[in-house]
Amino acid sequence: MATMKDVAQAAGVSTATVSRVLNGHPAPTEQTRERVLAAIDALGYRPNILARSLRLHTTHTLGLVISDLTNPFFAEVARAVENEAREHDYSVIVGNANESVEQQRRYVHTLLDRQVDGLLVCPATDEGDWLGEAAETGVPLVLLDRRIAGSVKVPVVRVDGTAALESLAAHLVELGHRRIGVIAGPAEASTGRERLDAFAAALGSRGAPLAERMVVYGDFQQQSGATAARTLMSGPNRPTALVAMDNLMGLGALEQLRAMGFSVPGDVGLAVYDDLPWFSLLEPAITAITQPTEELGRAAVQALLGLIGRGSAENVVLHAELVVRSSCGERAETGRGEGV
């Protein structure tokens, strides 16, 4: 393996000059710089990144704590984060909190111990003690997808689904649905509360208020979606349509409906918050709310790099969109949510 001394000898310069070139400092001449770079390429020299990071107080590494990597939404966000980070010469270390605040805390501590240059965290719940601890270290931090209320203010990059949920409410009412059941996310997560509140308000404004008995809370996991669907479809005056507030709960609901012998949309309609690439391939194709996962992940990295480089970053709010298909009793009105 080539060393810095080997590069210096091949280029006919001192090791100090090689070091200056590697660290972006001016070489004596442009010709010297080009000679050093040519020697590096020819010898396949790779600088000791760890030693270099200790000198420069940077590791060129970002930490990402994601809520649940088995959820396709978060898997796509994580991929977008890695893609954007790579374009800026950063590596990403990913931790899967599995919707557990304790596991999230452990990953945050581990990543801080690894001296990452910045942290992206999708909070598992509203519990924010870890947030104050992380902020005290001075490591740049951005919240992703979910927010935490409190005295510690950090930038948040998220998707607002209000308009898409209003479109979904209008769509279901137009199709004749009045008894609409909701499989809600956990109340202790901002996305769980915000989606339910926005949808309930939209239904109420259209003369189809959401009954309390028509709401069952899940935990953004598939089994909770199945349990909620069974509860909603087992009582009297069962819903004519179900709305699952995340894709894993939606899959659980669909599985349970089929197990109970209900046809979709013949017996009950189904709409899901968080689209999946293969929802359009099912029979019936699933009406869903889609989120801009690629933009979300990239925007989060850009915000974090803004904190690292400039010491400041703004909140970023993107917008979800309704995709109308055929799982709620639709006929010809398929396509994106415009005009629904």
Write the pLDDT tens digit of every residue in 182-231. Answer: 999 999 999 999 999 999 999 999 999 999 999 999 999 999 999 999 99
DSSP character string of 65-120: EES-TTSHHHHHHHHHHHHHHHHTT-EEEEEE-TT-HHHHHHHHHHHHHTT-SEEE
CATH number where 259 lies: 3.40.50.2300
Do residue 132 and residue 181 come from a single domain?
A: no
pLDDT of residue 338: 37
List, in sequence order, every residue forming a beta bridge with 180; answer none if it has no partner: 241
Question: Do the domain assignments include residue 167?
Answer: yes
pLDDT of residue 25: 67
Question: Do the domain assignments include residue 52?
Answer: no
Do residue 135 and residue 188 come from a single domain?
A: no
Do residue 194 and residue 227 come from a single domain?
A: yes
DSSP character string of 185-209: PPTTSHHHHHHHHHHHHHHHTTT-P
Do residue 178 and residue 267 come from a single domain?
A: yes
Do residue 283 and residue 214 come from a single domain?
A: yes
pLDDT of residue 26: 64
Range of the domain at 109: 61-158+293-317
- C-beta separation of 297 from 83 below 8 A: yes
Question: Do the domain assignments include residue 16?
Answer: yes
pLDDT of residue 290: 98
Do residue 118 and residue 198 come from a single domain?
A: no
Do residue 43 and residue 67 come from a single domain?
A: no
CA distances to 77, 86, 186 from 156, in Å: 15, 21, 20
Question: Do the domain assignments include residue 56?
Answer: no
Q: Is the pLDDT of residue 55 over 70?
A: no
Global pTM? Answer: 0.80
Question: Do the domain assignments include residue 54?
Answer: no
Q: Which two tokens stand for residue 105?
A: 């805390």
Question: Do the domain assignments include residue 55?
Answer: no
Segment 44-69 mean pLDDT: 73
Q: How many domains does the chain have?
A: 3
Do residue 276 and residue 256 come from a single domain?
A: yes
> Residue 122: enclosing H or E segment and its boundaries?
none
Do residue 41 and residue 187 come from a single domain?
A: no
- Contacts of residues 101-110 at CB distance under 8 Å and 24 or more positions apart, as own/partner, are 101/125, 101/127, 101/130, 104/65, 104/130, 105/129, 105/130, 107/63, 107/65, 108/63, 108/65, 108/133, 108/134
Question: Cα 10 vs. chain centroid, distance in angstroms?
Answer: 47
Question: Do the domain assignments include residue 174?
Answer: yes
Segment 272-286 mean pLDDT: 95
Do residue 190 and residue 265 come from a single domain?
A: yes
Do residue 187 and residue 329 come from a single domain?
A: yes
Segment 222-246 mean pLDDT: 96
Question: Do the domain assignments include residue 126?
Answer: yes
CATH number where 20 lies: 1.10.260.40
Do residue 211 and residue 69 come from a single domain?
A: no
Worst-scoring range by mean pLDDT, 17-26, 172-181, 261-270, 314-323? 17-26
Q: What does the pLDDT look like over 84-117, one tens digit per residue? A: 999 999 999 999 998 888 999 899 989 988 889 9
β pairing state of 241-244 and 269-273? parallel
